[in-house]
Structure 1
Amino acid sequence: MIQFLPFDTALFGYRVGKLQLHKSVARIESIQEQARNFDLIYVMGKPGLVRMGGWSPISTRVDWVKIIQKTDLETAPENQGDIQLYEQEASGTLSLKDQKQLRELVLTSGQWSRFNQDPLLANHEYEKLYTTWWETIKSQKHRVIVARRNGNLLGFVTFRLMRGRGYVDLFAVKGSEQGKGIGQKLMCRVWEELYALGYPQIGLSTQKANDRAMNFYKNAGFQPVKETLIAHWRPRLKDTPNLIN
Protein backbone atom coordinates (compact mmCIF):
# COMPACT_ATOMS: atom_id res chain seq x y z
CA MET A 1 0.00 0.00 0.00
CA ILE A 2 1.11 3.56 -0.68
CA GLN A 3 2.34 5.49 2.37
CA PHE A 4 1.68 9.23 2.47
CA LEU A 5 4.85 11.26 3.19
CA PRO A 6 3.87 14.52 4.95
CA PHE A 7 7.44 15.89 5.19
CA ASP A 8 8.18 15.53 1.46
CA THR A 9 4.69 16.80 0.59
CA ALA A 10 5.09 19.97 2.66
CA LEU A 11 8.62 20.56 1.37
CA PHE A 12 7.88 20.05 -2.33
CA GLY A 13 4.38 21.54 -2.41
CA TYR A 14 2.60 18.52 -3.91
CA ARG A 15 1.44 15.10 -2.68
CA VAL A 16 4.24 12.57 -2.28
CA GLY A 17 4.00 8.90 -1.26
CA LYS A 18 6.13 5.78 -0.99
CA LEU A 19 5.40 2.28 -2.27
CA GLN A 20 7.66 -0.33 -0.65
CA LEU A 21 7.70 -3.60 -2.59
CA HIS A 22 8.39 -6.71 -0.55
CA LYS A 23 7.90 -10.20 -1.98
CA SER A 24 5.59 -9.46 -4.89
CA VAL A 25 3.72 -6.74 -6.77
CA ALA A 26 0.35 -7.45 -5.23
CA ARG A 27 -3.08 -5.79 -5.06
CA ILE A 28 -2.60 -4.06 -8.39
CA GLU A 29 -6.06 -2.54 -8.65
CA SER A 30 -5.82 -1.14 -5.11
CA ILE A 31 -2.38 0.36 -5.80
CA GLN A 32 -3.54 2.04 -8.99
CA GLU A 33 -6.61 3.44 -7.23
CA GLN A 34 -4.50 4.91 -4.40
CA ALA A 35 -1.95 6.31 -6.85
CA ARG A 36 -4.51 8.72 -8.29
CA ASN A 37 -4.18 10.82 -5.14
CA PHE A 38 -0.44 11.41 -5.57
CA ASP A 39 1.77 13.53 -7.79
CA LEU A 40 4.96 11.60 -7.02
CA ILE A 41 5.48 8.11 -5.59
CA TYR A 42 8.82 6.61 -4.60
CA VAL A 43 8.72 2.95 -5.62
CA MET A 44 11.36 0.96 -3.72
CA GLY A 45 12.30 -2.69 -3.65
CA LYS A 46 14.58 -5.40 -4.93
CA PRO A 47 15.69 -4.74 -8.53
CA GLY A 48 13.66 -7.63 -9.93
CA LEU A 49 10.42 -6.49 -8.31
CA VAL A 50 10.69 -2.88 -9.48
CA ARG A 51 11.44 -3.92 -13.04
CA MET A 52 8.68 -6.54 -12.96
CA GLY A 53 6.21 -3.82 -12.11
CA GLY A 54 7.23 -1.81 -15.15
CA TRP A 55 8.56 1.23 -13.31
CA SER A 56 11.57 3.05 -14.77
CA PRO A 57 14.32 3.12 -12.12
CA ILE A 58 16.02 6.41 -11.30
CA SER A 59 18.73 5.04 -8.98
CA THR A 60 20.04 2.07 -7.02
CA ARG A 61 20.79 2.63 -3.34
CA VAL A 62 23.54 0.50 -1.82
CA ASP A 63 23.66 -0.03 1.95
CA TRP A 64 27.11 -0.63 3.45
CA VAL A 65 28.28 -1.86 6.86
CA LYS A 66 31.72 -1.98 8.47
CA ILE A 67 32.96 -3.54 11.69
CA ILE A 68 35.51 -1.12 13.14
CA GLN A 69 38.65 -2.98 14.12
CA LYS A 70 41.37 -1.76 16.46
CA THR A 71 43.75 -2.02 13.50
CA ASP A 72 41.64 0.58 11.67
CA LEU A 73 42.45 3.06 14.41
CA GLU A 74 46.14 2.19 14.47
CA THR A 75 46.48 2.83 10.74
CA ALA A 76 44.39 6.00 10.67
CA PRO A 77 46.15 8.94 8.96
CA GLU A 78 47.50 11.50 11.39
CA ASN A 79 45.99 14.95 11.60
CA GLN A 80 49.01 16.76 10.22
CA GLY A 81 49.89 19.53 7.82
CA ASP A 82 47.55 22.47 7.38
CA ILE A 83 44.31 20.45 7.71
CA GLN A 84 42.49 20.66 11.03
CA LEU A 85 39.79 18.20 12.07
CA TYR A 86 37.43 18.86 14.93
CA GLU A 87 33.81 18.53 16.00
CA GLN A 88 31.47 21.31 14.91
CA GLU A 89 28.69 22.36 17.27
CA ALA A 90 25.66 21.82 15.03
CA SER A 91 23.26 23.79 17.21
CA GLY A 92 25.55 26.81 17.43
CA THR A 93 25.29 30.00 15.40
CA LEU A 94 27.31 29.79 12.20
CA SER A 95 28.96 32.78 10.54
CA LEU A 96 27.68 33.86 7.13
CA LYS A 97 30.88 32.48 5.60
CA ASP A 98 30.36 29.11 7.29
CA GLN A 99 26.71 29.02 6.25
CA LYS A 100 27.66 29.59 2.60
CA GLN A 101 30.46 27.01 2.60
CA LEU A 102 28.34 24.49 4.49
CA ARG A 103 25.46 24.85 2.05
CA GLU A 104 27.84 24.21 -0.85
CA LEU A 105 29.18 21.09 0.88
CA VAL A 106 25.72 19.81 1.75
CA LEU A 107 24.65 20.13 -1.89
CA THR A 108 27.89 18.44 -2.97
CA SER A 109 27.11 15.50 -0.68
CA GLY A 110 23.90 14.86 -2.61
CA GLN A 111 25.06 15.44 -6.18
CA TRP A 112 24.39 11.76 -7.00
CA SER A 113 21.05 11.83 -5.20
CA ARG A 114 18.03 10.59 -7.17
CA PHE A 115 16.48 14.00 -6.54
CA ASN A 116 19.34 15.58 -8.46
CA GLN A 117 19.48 12.88 -11.16
CA ASP A 118 15.76 12.99 -12.03
CA PRO A 119 15.32 15.57 -14.85
CA LEU A 120 11.57 15.80 -14.22
CA LEU A 121 12.09 17.23 -10.73
CA ALA A 122 12.22 20.87 -11.79
CA ASN A 123 10.86 22.59 -8.67
CA HIS A 124 14.23 22.78 -6.86
CA GLU A 125 13.38 19.61 -4.91
CA TYR A 126 17.03 18.63 -4.57
CA GLU A 127 18.08 22.00 -3.16
CA LYS A 128 15.09 22.14 -0.80
CA LEU A 129 15.71 18.64 0.55
CA TYR A 130 19.43 18.94 1.13
CA THR A 131 19.21 22.45 2.55
CA THR A 132 16.67 21.14 5.06
CA TRP A 133 19.07 18.34 6.05
CA TRP A 134 21.14 20.72 8.15
CA GLU A 135 18.09 21.72 10.17
CA THR A 136 17.37 18.02 10.73
CA ILE A 137 20.94 17.46 11.87
CA LYS A 138 20.58 20.29 14.39
CA SER A 139 17.19 19.18 15.71
CA GLN A 140 18.22 15.52 16.07
CA LYS A 141 21.62 16.42 17.54
CA HIS A 142 23.76 14.53 15.04
CA ARG A 143 27.53 14.64 15.50
CA VAL A 144 29.42 16.74 12.94
CA ILE A 145 33.14 16.49 12.14
CA VAL A 146 34.62 19.17 9.86
CA ALA A 147 37.92 19.59 8.02
CA ARG A 148 39.29 23.11 7.68
CA ARG A 149 42.29 24.89 6.24
CA ASN A 150 42.90 28.46 7.36
CA GLY A 151 39.34 28.60 8.64
CA ASN A 152 37.79 27.48 5.36
CA LEU A 153 35.53 24.43 5.31
CA LEU A 154 36.96 21.72 3.05
CA GLY A 155 34.79 18.78 4.05
CA PHE A 156 32.46 17.39 6.66
CA VAL A 157 30.75 14.22 7.83
CA THR A 158 27.67 13.84 10.03
CA PHE A 159 26.77 10.73 12.00
CA ARG A 160 24.38 9.55 14.65
CA LEU A 161 23.83 6.56 16.91
CA MET A 162 20.99 4.22 16.00
CA ARG A 163 20.08 0.62 16.79
CA GLY A 164 23.41 -0.14 18.41
CA ARG A 165 25.65 1.26 15.70
CA GLY A 166 26.78 4.50 14.09
CA TYR A 167 25.22 5.75 10.89
CA VAL A 168 26.63 8.33 8.47
CA ASP A 169 24.05 10.62 6.85
CA LEU A 170 26.04 13.29 5.00
CA PHE A 171 29.66 13.09 3.85
CA ALA A 172 31.34 15.46 1.40
CA VAL A 173 34.67 16.98 0.46
CA LYS A 174 34.98 20.14 -1.63
CA GLY A 175 35.48 19.23 -5.28
CA SER A 176 38.90 20.87 -5.64
CA GLU A 177 40.12 19.06 -2.49
CA GLN A 178 38.98 15.56 -3.39
CA GLY A 179 41.60 12.85 -3.80
CA LYS A 180 43.90 14.38 -1.18
CA GLY A 181 43.00 12.08 1.72
CA ILE A 182 40.65 14.48 3.49
CA GLY A 183 37.70 12.10 3.21
CA GLN A 184 39.78 9.28 4.68
CA LYS A 185 40.81 11.45 7.61
CA LEU A 186 37.20 12.44 8.29
CA MET A 187 35.96 8.86 8.17
CA CYS A 188 38.76 7.63 10.42
CA ARG A 189 37.85 10.30 12.94
CA VAL A 190 34.28 8.94 12.95
CA TRP A 191 35.61 5.42 13.55
CA GLU A 192 37.63 6.67 16.52
CA GLU A 193 34.61 8.43 18.02
CA LEU A 194 32.33 5.42 17.61
CA TYR A 195 34.88 2.92 18.89
CA ALA A 196 35.47 5.05 22.00
CA LEU A 197 31.69 5.11 22.64
CA GLY A 198 31.46 1.32 22.36
CA TYR A 199 29.84 1.28 18.92
CA PRO A 200 32.13 -0.90 16.74
CA GLN A 201 29.77 -1.02 13.75
CA ILE A 202 29.02 1.72 11.23
CA GLY A 203 26.54 1.87 8.35
CA LEU A 204 25.76 4.23 5.49
CA SER A 205 24.13 4.37 2.06
CA THR A 206 25.23 5.66 -1.31
CA GLN A 207 24.18 5.54 -4.95
CA LYS A 208 25.55 2.71 -7.07
CA ALA A 209 26.22 5.10 -9.96
CA ASN A 210 28.63 7.08 -7.76
CA ASP A 211 31.80 5.20 -8.68
CA ARG A 212 34.08 7.39 -6.54
CA ALA A 213 32.04 6.74 -3.39
CA MET A 214 31.62 3.02 -4.15
CA ASN A 215 35.39 2.60 -4.50
CA PHE A 216 36.08 4.70 -1.41
CA TYR A 217 33.85 2.60 0.84
CA LYS A 218 35.13 -0.67 -0.61
CA ASN A 219 38.76 0.37 -0.02
CA ALA A 220 37.86 1.53 3.50
CA GLY A 221 36.66 -1.96 4.39
CA PHE A 222 32.90 -1.49 4.14
CA GLN A 223 30.80 -4.43 2.92
CA PRO A 224 27.71 -3.98 0.72
CA VAL A 225 24.73 -5.67 2.39
CA LYS A 226 21.70 -4.59 0.36
CA GLU A 227 20.69 -3.02 -2.94
CA THR A 228 17.39 -1.18 -3.39
CA LEU A 229 16.14 -0.06 -6.78
CA ILE A 230 14.17 3.18 -6.66
CA ALA A 231 11.77 4.54 -9.27
CA HIS A 232 9.85 7.83 -9.37
CA TRP A 233 6.26 7.21 -10.41
CA ARG A 234 4.06 10.14 -11.48
CA PRO A 235 0.48 8.84 -11.80
CA ARG A 236 -1.08 12.21 -12.63
CA LEU A 237 1.20 12.52 -15.66
CA LYS A 238 -0.21 9.24 -16.94
CA ASP A 239 3.05 7.65 -15.98
CA THR A 240 1.27 4.42 -15.00
CA PRO A 241 3.21 1.21 -15.73
CA ASN A 242 1.73 -2.06 -16.86
CA LEU A 243 1.79 -3.80 -13.50
CA ILE A 244 2.34 -7.53 -13.52
CA ASN A 245 1.16 -9.70 -10.66
Structure 2
Amino acid sequence: MIQFLPFDSALFGYRVGKLVLGRSLPDLEGVQTQAQGFELIYVMGKPGLVKMGGWPPISTRVDLVKAIRKTDLDPESNEMDEVFISEQDLSVSLSASDQRQLRELVLTSGQWSRFRQDPLMANQEYEKLYTTWWETITSQNHRVMVARRGKRLLGFITFRLLRGRAYVDLFAVEGKSQGKGIGRNLMSRVFQEVYAKGLVQVGLSTQKANERAMDFYGRAGFQPMKETLIAHWRPGNSH
Protein backbone atom coordinates (compact mmCIF):
# COMPACT_ATOMS: atom_id res chain seq x y z
CA MET A 1 0.00 0.00 0.00
CA ILE A 2 2.73 2.45 0.98
CA GLN A 3 5.30 2.98 -1.76
CA PHE A 4 8.86 3.73 -0.71
CA LEU A 5 10.25 6.82 -2.46
CA PRO A 6 14.03 6.40 -2.84
CA PHE A 7 14.57 9.78 -4.54
CA ASP A 8 12.80 11.82 -1.86
CA SER A 9 14.37 9.75 0.89
CA ALA A 10 17.89 10.31 -0.43
CA LEU A 11 17.24 14.00 -1.03
CA PHE A 12 15.72 14.74 2.37
CA GLY A 13 17.88 12.39 4.43
CA TYR A 14 15.06 10.33 5.95
CA ARG A 15 12.66 7.58 4.87
CA VAL A 16 9.76 8.90 2.75
CA GLY A 17 6.79 7.00 1.32
CA LYS A 18 3.61 7.62 -0.64
CA LEU A 19 0.09 6.32 -0.07
CA VAL A 20 -2.32 6.86 -2.97
CA LEU A 21 -5.94 6.29 -1.96
CA GLY A 22 -8.26 4.55 -4.38
CA ARG A 23 -12.02 4.68 -4.32
CA SER A 24 -12.25 3.70 -0.66
CA LEU A 25 -10.14 3.77 2.46
CA PRO A 26 -7.57 0.98 2.81
CA ASP A 27 -7.25 -1.24 5.87
CA LEU A 28 -6.13 1.42 8.33
CA GLU A 29 -4.62 -1.09 10.77
CA GLY A 30 -2.54 -2.56 7.97
CA VAL A 31 -1.49 0.90 6.85
CA GLN A 32 -0.46 1.82 10.40
CA THR A 33 1.67 -1.31 10.63
CA GLN A 34 3.33 -0.70 7.27
CA ALA A 35 3.94 2.94 8.13
CA GLN A 36 6.38 2.08 10.90
CA GLY A 37 9.88 2.98 9.77
CA PHE A 38 8.74 5.92 7.64
CA GLU A 39 9.34 9.44 8.88
CA LEU A 40 7.10 11.06 6.27
CA ILE A 41 4.31 9.69 4.06
CA TYR A 42 2.50 11.64 1.35
CA VAL A 43 -1.16 10.65 1.45
CA MET A 44 -2.93 11.55 -1.80
CA GLY A 45 -6.54 11.10 -2.78
CA LYS A 46 -9.97 12.56 -3.12
CA PRO A 47 -10.56 15.22 -0.44
CA GLY A 48 -13.32 13.26 1.27
CA LEU A 49 -11.22 10.11 1.66
CA VAL A 50 -8.18 11.90 3.03
CA LYS A 51 -10.33 13.67 5.60
CA MET A 52 -12.11 10.43 6.53
CA GLY A 53 -8.75 8.81 7.19
CA GLY A 54 -7.83 11.58 9.60
CA TRP A 55 -4.58 12.53 7.89
CA PRO A 56 -3.51 16.18 8.29
CA PRO A 57 -4.03 17.92 4.90
CA ILE A 58 -1.35 20.28 3.62
CA SER A 59 -2.64 21.31 0.20
CA THR A 60 -5.06 20.59 -2.62
CA ARG A 61 -3.40 20.09 -5.99
CA VAL A 62 -5.48 21.09 -9.00
CA ASP A 63 -4.66 19.63 -12.42
CA LEU A 64 -5.73 21.93 -15.27
CA VAL A 65 -5.83 21.58 -19.05
CA LYS A 66 -6.27 24.10 -21.85
CA ALA A 67 -7.11 23.58 -25.50
CA ILE A 68 -5.17 26.11 -27.57
CA ARG A 69 -7.21 28.24 -29.95
CA LYS A 70 -5.88 30.40 -32.75
CA THR A 71 -6.83 33.51 -30.78
CA ASP A 72 -4.37 32.37 -28.08
CA LEU A 73 -1.47 32.73 -30.49
CA ASP A 74 -1.49 36.52 -30.56
CA PRO A 75 1.01 38.13 -28.14
CA GLU A 76 -0.59 39.73 -25.11
CA SER A 77 -0.17 43.43 -24.48
CA ASN A 78 2.69 44.26 -22.16
CA GLU A 79 2.62 47.27 -19.90
CA MET A 80 6.39 47.27 -19.39
CA ASP A 81 8.72 48.79 -21.95
CA GLU A 82 11.74 46.94 -23.27
CA VAL A 83 10.71 43.52 -21.94
CA PHE A 84 11.69 40.75 -24.34
CA ILE A 85 10.55 37.13 -24.38
CA SER A 86 13.06 34.62 -25.72
CA GLU A 87 14.08 30.99 -25.38
CA GLN A 88 16.90 30.27 -22.95
CA ASP A 89 19.48 27.89 -24.41
CA LEU A 90 20.39 25.53 -21.58
CA SER A 91 23.15 23.84 -23.57
CA VAL A 92 25.48 26.80 -23.06
CA SER A 93 27.06 27.98 -19.86
CA LEU A 94 24.98 30.60 -18.08
CA SER A 95 26.53 33.72 -16.61
CA ALA A 96 26.80 33.93 -12.83
CA SER A 97 24.10 36.62 -12.89
CA ASP A 98 21.71 34.47 -14.92
CA GLN A 99 22.35 31.47 -12.68
CA ARG A 100 21.58 33.51 -9.56
CA GLN A 101 18.45 35.08 -11.02
CA LEU A 102 17.15 31.79 -12.38
CA ARG A 103 17.63 30.17 -8.98
CA GLU A 104 15.61 32.97 -7.39
CA LEU A 105 12.84 32.48 -9.97
CA VAL A 106 12.88 28.69 -9.47
CA LEU A 107 12.34 29.13 -5.73
CA THR A 108 9.69 31.78 -6.37
CA SER A 109 7.82 29.35 -8.61
CA GLY A 110 7.32 27.03 -5.65
CA GLN A 111 6.33 29.53 -3.00
CA TRP A 112 2.92 27.80 -2.70
CA SER A 113 4.47 24.33 -2.74
CA ARG A 114 3.29 21.97 -0.01
CA PHE A 115 6.92 21.55 0.95
CA ARG A 116 7.05 25.22 1.80
CA GLN A 117 3.58 25.42 3.30
CA ASP A 118 4.26 22.57 5.74
CA PRO A 119 5.68 24.23 8.90
CA LEU A 120 7.33 20.95 9.94
CA MET A 121 9.56 20.93 6.87
CA ALA A 122 12.65 22.36 8.52
CA ASN A 123 15.48 20.57 6.71
CA GLN A 124 15.52 22.75 3.57
CA GLU A 125 13.38 20.17 1.77
CA TYR A 126 11.73 22.84 -0.36
CA GLU A 127 15.04 24.34 -1.49
CA LYS A 128 16.56 20.92 -2.16
CA LEU A 129 13.58 19.71 -4.16
CA TYR A 130 13.24 22.75 -6.41
CA THR A 131 16.98 23.01 -6.98
CA THR A 132 17.02 19.36 -8.05
CA TRP A 133 13.92 19.92 -10.20
CA TRP A 134 15.72 22.71 -12.05
CA GLU A 135 18.76 20.47 -12.54
CA THR A 136 16.47 17.81 -14.04
CA ILE A 137 14.88 20.35 -16.37
CA THR A 138 18.34 21.41 -17.49
CA SER A 139 19.67 17.87 -17.98
CA GLN A 140 16.57 16.71 -19.87
CA ASN A 141 16.53 19.74 -22.17
CA HIS A 142 13.07 21.01 -21.32
CA ARG A 143 12.07 24.20 -23.14
CA VAL A 144 12.62 27.38 -21.13
CA MET A 145 11.28 30.83 -22.02
CA VAL A 146 12.52 33.88 -20.15
CA ALA A 147 11.44 37.51 -19.91
CA ARG A 148 14.29 40.01 -19.78
CA ARG A 149 14.66 43.70 -19.34
CA GLY A 150 18.25 44.47 -20.09
CA LYS A 151 20.32 41.99 -18.10
CA ARG A 152 17.60 41.40 -15.52
CA LEU A 153 15.45 38.27 -15.65
CA LEU A 154 11.88 39.19 -14.75
CA GLY A 155 10.22 35.81 -15.23
CA PHE A 156 10.45 32.37 -16.76
CA ILE A 157 8.37 29.35 -17.75
CA THR A 158 9.47 25.78 -18.48
CA PHE A 159 7.58 23.16 -20.45
CA ARG A 160 8.01 19.78 -22.07
CA LEU A 161 6.17 17.71 -24.65
CA LEU A 162 4.87 14.37 -23.49
CA ARG A 163 2.27 11.97 -24.90
CA GLY A 164 0.77 14.45 -27.32
CA ARG A 165 0.44 17.27 -24.83
CA ALA A 166 2.63 20.04 -23.42
CA TYR A 167 3.18 20.27 -19.68
CA VAL A 168 4.23 23.42 -17.84
CA ASP A 169 6.46 22.58 -14.89
CA LEU A 170 7.87 25.81 -13.43
CA PHE A 171 6.46 29.29 -13.95
CA ALA A 172 7.20 32.52 -12.08
CA VAL A 173 7.43 36.29 -12.41
CA GLU A 174 9.36 38.26 -9.82
CA GLY A 175 7.15 40.00 -7.29
CA LYS A 176 7.43 43.63 -8.32
CA SER A 177 6.99 42.74 -12.01
CA GLN A 178 3.74 40.82 -11.52
CA GLY A 179 0.48 42.16 -12.89
CA LYS A 180 2.15 43.85 -15.87
CA GLY A 181 1.47 41.28 -18.59
CA ILE A 182 4.76 39.42 -18.36
CA GLY A 183 3.19 36.14 -17.25
CA ARG A 184 0.57 36.37 -19.99
CA ASN A 185 3.26 36.92 -22.61
CA LEU A 186 5.32 33.98 -21.36
CA MET A 187 2.29 31.71 -21.46
CA SER A 188 1.34 33.03 -24.92
CA ARG A 189 4.82 32.12 -26.15
CA VAL A 190 4.31 28.57 -24.88
CA PHE A 191 0.99 28.36 -26.75
CA GLN A 192 2.74 29.48 -29.93
CA GLU A 193 5.57 26.95 -29.57
CA VAL A 194 3.23 24.09 -28.73
CA TYR A 195 0.82 24.88 -31.57
CA ALA A 196 3.74 25.04 -34.00
CA LYS A 197 4.54 21.43 -33.04
CA GLY A 198 1.03 20.38 -34.04
CA LEU A 199 -0.23 19.99 -30.47
CA VAL A 200 -3.26 21.76 -29.06
CA GLN A 201 -3.32 20.94 -25.34
CA VAL A 202 -1.34 22.32 -22.41
CA GLY A 203 -1.53 20.85 -18.92
CA LEU A 204 -0.22 22.02 -15.56
CA SER A 205 -0.80 21.74 -11.83
CA THR A 206 -1.11 24.36 -9.13
CA GLN A 207 -2.28 24.69 -5.55
CA LYS A 208 -5.94 25.53 -4.96
CA ALA A 209 -4.97 27.92 -2.16
CA ASN A 210 -2.93 29.97 -4.64
CA GLU A 211 -5.88 32.15 -5.61
CA ARG A 212 -3.81 34.45 -7.79
CA ALA A 213 -2.56 31.55 -9.90
CA MET A 214 -6.02 29.99 -10.11
CA ASP A 215 -7.43 33.29 -11.32
CA PHE A 216 -4.61 33.70 -13.86
CA TYR A 217 -5.09 30.22 -15.32
CA GLY A 218 -8.86 30.64 -15.40
CA ARG A 219 -8.55 33.86 -17.41
CA ALA A 220 -6.07 32.10 -19.72
CA GLY A 221 -8.69 29.45 -20.50
CA PHE A 222 -7.44 26.54 -18.37
CA GLN A 223 -10.11 24.18 -17.06
CA PRO A 224 -9.74 22.21 -13.78
CA MET A 225 -9.80 18.47 -14.43
CA LYS A 226 -8.97 16.92 -11.08
CA GLU A 227 -8.43 17.86 -7.43
CA THR A 228 -6.18 15.84 -5.15
CA LEU A 229 -5.92 16.51 -1.43
CA ILE A 230 -2.40 15.85 -0.15
CA ALA A 231 -1.55 15.19 3.48
CA HIS A 232 1.85 14.92 5.09
CA TRP A 233 1.61 12.08 7.56
CA ARG A 234 4.33 11.57 10.12
CA PRO A 235 3.62 8.14 11.62
CA GLY A 236 5.50 8.97 14.79
CA ASN A 237 2.89 11.62 15.52
CA SER A 238 -0.76 10.98 16.19
CA HIS A 239 -3.18 11.84 13.41
Scaled to the shorter chain, the TM-score interval is: over 0.9
**8 Å CA contact 1:147, 1:154 repeated in 2:** yes
Query: Does 2:149 match 1:149?
Result: yes
User: Which residue of structure 2 aligns with residue 109 of structure 1?
Assistant: 109
- Match runs of 1:185-200 below 5 Å: 185-200=185-200
In structure 1, distance between residues paired with 2:134 and 2:114: 19
Counterpart in the other structure of 1:161:
161
SS at match of 1:235: coil
AA in 1 matched with 2:197: L
Quickly say closer, same or farther: Cα 1:224–1:32, change in 2 above 3 A: same
Match of 2:41 in 1: 41
The residue matched to 1:24 in structure 2 has which SS? coil
Aligned to 1:55, the other structure's residue is in SS state coil
SS, match of residue 183 in structure 2: helix
Asked whether the 8 Å contact 1:17–1:41 carries over to 2, the reply is: yes
User: Aligned pair 1:232/2:232, yes or no?
Assistant: yes
Code of the aligned partner of 1:181: G
Contact persistence 2:77–2:181 (CA under 8 A): no
Do 1:90 and 1:137's aligned partners in 2 also have CA atoms closer than 8 Å? no
| Cα distance in 1 between the residues matched to 2:108 and 2:91 | 21
Question: 1:86 is paired with a residue of what secondary structure?
Answer: strand
2:76 is matched with 77
Q: Please list, as runs of the form range in 1=range in 2, the aligned pairs for 1:206-245 lying within 5 A after superposition.
A: 206-236=206-236, 238-239=237-238, 241=239
Partner residue in 1 for 2:176: 176
Kindly provide the CA deviation profile for residues 75-112 of structure 1, in whole angstroms up to 9, marking residues without a partner as x.
x3267830111111123211111111111100100000
CA–CA distance in structure 2, aligned partners of residues 147 and 36 of structure 1: 47
Matched residues, number: 238
- Alignment RMSD (CA, Å): 1.2
2 CA distance for matches of 1:168 and 1:77? 18
- CA–CA distance in 2 between the matches of 1:172 and 1:5? 28
Output aligned runs, 1:83-122, within 5 Å.
83-122=83-122
TM-score, normalised with respect to structure 1: 0.94
Sequence identity (%): 70
Aligned position for 2:61: 61
C-alpha separation in 2, matches of 1:64 and 1:149: 30
Structure 1 gap segments, 5+ residues each: none
Range with bigger deviation, 8-17 or 130-139: 130-139
| Aligned equivalent of 2:140 | 140
| Partner amino acid, structure 2, of 1:28 | L
CA deviations 1:155-210 (Å, max 9, x no partner) are 00000011210000000001110000000000000000000001100000000010
Q: Deviations over 1:26-83 (max 9, x none)?
A: 1222211110020000000000000010011000001100000111113x32678301
Q: Distance in 2 between matches of 1:90 and 1:62?
A: 29
Counterpart CA distance in 2 for 1:89 and 1:132 is: 19
TM (normalized to structure 2)?
A: 0.97
